[in-house]
Amino acid sequence: MNPIKISLIQTPWTGSRETMQAAYRVHIRQATQSGAQLICLQEFSLSPYFASVRESTGWDWAEPLEGGVTHQFLGGLAKEHGVYIIGSIFERENAHYWDTATLYNPGGDLHGFTRKVHIPSGEGYHEDHYFGGAAEYPLHEVLGVKIGIPTCYDQWFPELSRIYALRGADFLFYPTAIGSEPTAPGVDTRDAWQTVMRGQAIASGLFIAAANRVGVEGVTFYGSSFICAPDGLILAQGSRNRAQTISADLNPAALEEW
């Protein structure tokens, strides 16, 4: 593994794709000015969290892997700033639909993608209504770092991170949309959510990070995006409710030592 500086961006849904693009332009410029080489965005980066309800309008946010709004926008920013960017889309592939993490390279091209494996079903998180789960665990090499990009609910399953570790991953990043539990309003899973990933970092010897949404979209997202080292140490931590960019250096010495 080579050293790499990463930035995570968390933001609320701002009302339209156009305003989301404007917000990301500012955050991504700030991240690149700080020296970030890889910039990581939240789940459904340019869309609302449509899965909080079952509505026909949810399908309107689907787009193809290449040539869609997200590819054109994030690929263009990756090329403009000479960086790698990880985004997330509601993917339409002919008659199939997926929740897909997408990686764009400094040439503006789609460098790789990974479809979400575990799909939640329940009040506020009706994802199984819109898309299915995949069963692939690809690695993507970025500047000498082997990266896995599973998504959100995949965080809760240590088998998945172990598979990536056994395949040689150095770093896992999860685009995320998680928050309140409509059927249990007194429950706050934020600490458990972070702890389960820190435990997987420790057990499998990986850097792990997650960029979570903030704001209210049927559920109240709790942000708290973070980056942790293989020993579970938190390298950077976001707030619960503010749009924010956080950054950290991933040092291969920490990986080798652990």
Look up 79 and say whether it is catalytic: no
**Is 116 considered catalytic here?**
yes
Per annotation, catalytic residue among 43, 63, 91, 127: 43
B/e letters for 78-88, b = 16+ CB within 10 Å, e = fewer, are bbebebbbbbb
Does the annotation mark 146 as catalytic?
no
Q: In what order do the strands lie in the sheet with 4-10?
A: 110-115, 96-104, 84-93, 38-40, 4-10, 244-250
Find out whether 136 and 152 touch, Cβ atoms under 8 Å: no
Q: Are 175 and 87 in contact (CB under 8 A)?
A: yes
> Cα angle at 76 between 105 and 52, to 5 degrees?
90
Please identify which of the residues 40, 63, 152, 228 carries the catalytic annotation: 152
Dist CA 191 CA 198 (whole Å): 10
Nearest to residue 249, comparing CAs of 2, 6, 1?
6
Contact 3, 242 (CB under 8 A): no
CA–CA distance, 124 with 114 (Å, rounded to integer): 24
Among 66, 56, 111, smallest CA distance to 93 is for 66
d(CA 72, CA 112): 15
Catalytic: which of 40, 63, 116, 127?
116
Which positions are catalytic? 43, 116, 152
